[in-house]
Every structure is written in C-alpha cells, then in structure tokens.
Amino acid sequence: MTTQTPDLVAEVRRFVRDEVVRLEPLFFKHGFNAVLPELQTLRLEVKARGWWLPPLPKEVGGMGLGLGEFAQLSEEMGQTPLGNFVFNTQAPDIGNLEVLLKHGSPQQKERFLKPLADGEIRSAFAMTEPEHPGSNPVWMDTTAVLEGNEWVINGHKWYTSGFDGSSFAIVMCVTDPDLPKPHARASQIIVPTDTPGFQQVRRISVMGEEGEGWASHSEIGLRDVRVPRENLLGERGKGFAIAQERLGPGRIHHCMRWIGICRRALELMCQYAATRELAPGKALGTRQAVQHMIADSYAEIHAARLMVLDAAEKVEKLGAEGARSEISTIKFFVAGVLQRVVDRAIQVHGGLGMSDDLPLSFFYRHERAARIYDGADEVHKTVVARSILKEYGLDISL
C-alpha cells in the first residue's frame, strides 16, 4: 500500500457519501437514465480530482493503483449502486478495459479501449447462454467461422450486462469446435453493437425490475454477424484463458464492492437500533437479539475484508492462477456474508427495511445474484475442496 492510500480512501468516502448517495432516491424510483446527467457531472468532477479509473495505468488515464489499493477504494464506491459508475470502474467495462489493455492490438486500443477509458462509450461482455449452464463455460453453441477476412458469428446469449446503450460487446464464441481440448475451442471477438444481425432480444426482468442502460441485463441474438478478422481479441483459441484472467481481479473488485454494501447495511442497522424506540426510553438496540445481529455482522465484515485483501496481495504476487483457491474462497465466503448482513439489516428495520425508502431492499434484490454469477457458490467450494484434498493425496479431476 502507498502512503497516500489512507487519505485517498477517506476523501473518496466523503465524496461518495456527500455527492453520489444523494442521487439514490431518484435512481431507485425512476432508473439509471433519470440520474445519468448528474452522474456525468460527477464523472467530470472525479476526473478533475485525479480519481478516474483507479486500477488502470496512467497512460490510459487511470491512477495506476495496485489491486490491493484499488480494493480499498472499491469498498467505498460499493456503498452505493452508483459509486463504481462515477469512477468508470463498473462491470463489465472495467473487465473489458483490463482485457483490451493486455490483449488488444494497437488498432483495437485506439478504436475501443480509448473511448471506453475516457468514459465516452460503454461496453458489454457476452458469454453466458440460456441453453447451457453458466457453471460450464466451455460448453456453448455460439460459433464464429472465418470466411475470408471476416468472422461470421451466429449464436444466442443472455445476462449480457450493460448491453443496452453500449457501443460494443466482447463475445465468447467457438472458433475451433473440433479441437480435443474444450478449453481451447473458444475465442473472444469484439463486435460493435450496431453490426447488422446483432440484436437485443429483450432486457431481462430481474427480481421484478427490467433495468436500463448500464444497470440492465440483456438477452441478445447474433445472426450472420460479420466483423473483420482483426476484431479477434488476443490469440485464437485463448478465449477461456482470457476470461479466467479477467475473472481473478474481477472477483476482488466484486468482493470489496460487496463489503461496501455490508458496511452501509451495518451502519443503517446500527443507526436505527440506536434511535428507534420500542417503548419510551427503550431503544431497539437494547435488545440482545439485535445486539447479536450487529456483532455477527461486524465480525463477518471484518473477516471478509482481511480475507479479500490477502487474496489481492497473492494475486499481485502470483497472478490469478497462483491464487486460484484464495479467489474461489472469497467469492463464496463474501457473497454469503453479503446475504446475511443485508438480511439482518432488513430484519432490524422491520417494515421500513422492506420499503424502498432505504437502499436495503434494492441490495437484497440485486445482490442475491452474487452467489451465482462469476461462478456459483457450489462451484467455488468444489475448487477449494479439491485443492485441499490434493494435498492429502486425493487428486480429483475437474
């Protein structure tokens, strides 16, 4: 960690609380587009303060922070669903930026990375298919066939986050279906969203909300979509490997954002417990059951934070593959902490917690997916258990 990090974290915390959180009521009631003009103004302010794109290098307009340093900022941004967007670190854009930075050609960086890093456009990442389980990412039907100097793509994707209003998508597709190794069959191809044959089938309604713009998930279709050969991102057949690269740091980002949500929920819980009267002179927080929920939440948040920062340090030293067990551990552990802390906060608030007067109901609806996306809990637990058992002589093939 650099010496500037504590001061920076405190400054970002104040900015998020004072400038971003105030937009939540309008966002919760009317959606992303209703607050977009003010969010764009805040983005300009973030740029002016030198906080833009904290984890990306300075040559592309970022701060150049390490993964552990960014993890601390991500906790602050995560306390509101609008935080990461203001700093241009929202998924899937941040993952696409990292992949383009490492694997993009000079032409791809100029056409796609630069405007994305500048915040002029948004992007999407299309991998999951409704016909196949997301827990088996090497099994997909979307294909890309090379015809002359063009890739011809046909397929069907869903849960393509941020597709609505995006300028391009990075699409996972099978380019070499006959190779014996499934992990070498897929590639990643950059597809501008205005390409003929590339269509949004629908915005998927999730927990009763359809969402819009960046805060949406889409089902998309690709029918004879043609893009230039040079739109291949990285090497042919390396699509799965590139996806795994982005998921390692990405899970650190997600987990620290979740911890930010937990902190916000705990603060709301404590404020309410200290001020809500059950009877004259008897605050809700005098009840032992409420005290235990506060204590359990505090302990779990503290443990989760230390676990994630430890994983971030290992990723920086060993790479995502070298920290595979640690990444899987935080993915299921912190997702579980998130569910429990938000649930306790709602329980303490009673009917108020169920209402949209507070952000708790939003967190409850939208973050249930934390135990599913980027690998379901059960998949990550299996990865960790198999790694441990291997040390005892039991080698179970994945």
DSSP structure string for 21-49: GGGHHHHHHH-HHHHHHHHHHHHHHHHHT
Task: Give me the pLDDT at residue 398, please.
Answer: 54
The CA distance from 299 to 301, in Å, is 6
241-390: CATH class: mainly alpha
Q: For residue 204, is pLDDT > 70?
A: yes
The CATH code for residues 5-90 is: 1.10.540.10
- pTM: predicted TM-score of the whole model, two decimal places: 0.92
Of 359, 376, 371, residue with least CA distance to 261: 359
pLDDT in tens, 227-273: 999 999 999 999 999 998 887 788 898 999 999 999 999 999 999 99
pLDDT in tens, 116-147: 999 999 999 999 999 998 778 889 999 999 99
pLDDT in tens, 315-357: 999 988 889 999 999 999 999 999 999 999 999 999 999 999 9
Does the domain made of 123-233 have the CATH classification 2.40.110.10?
Answer: yes
The CA distance from 155 to 191, in Å, is 13
Q: How many CB atoms lie within 10 A of CB 234?
A: 20
Domain extents in the chain: 5-90, 123-233, 241-390
Residue 317 tokens, joined: 């030293």
Q: Which residues contact 270 (CB under 8 A, 6 or more apart)?
A: 285, 294
Residue 137 tokens, joined: 């990412």
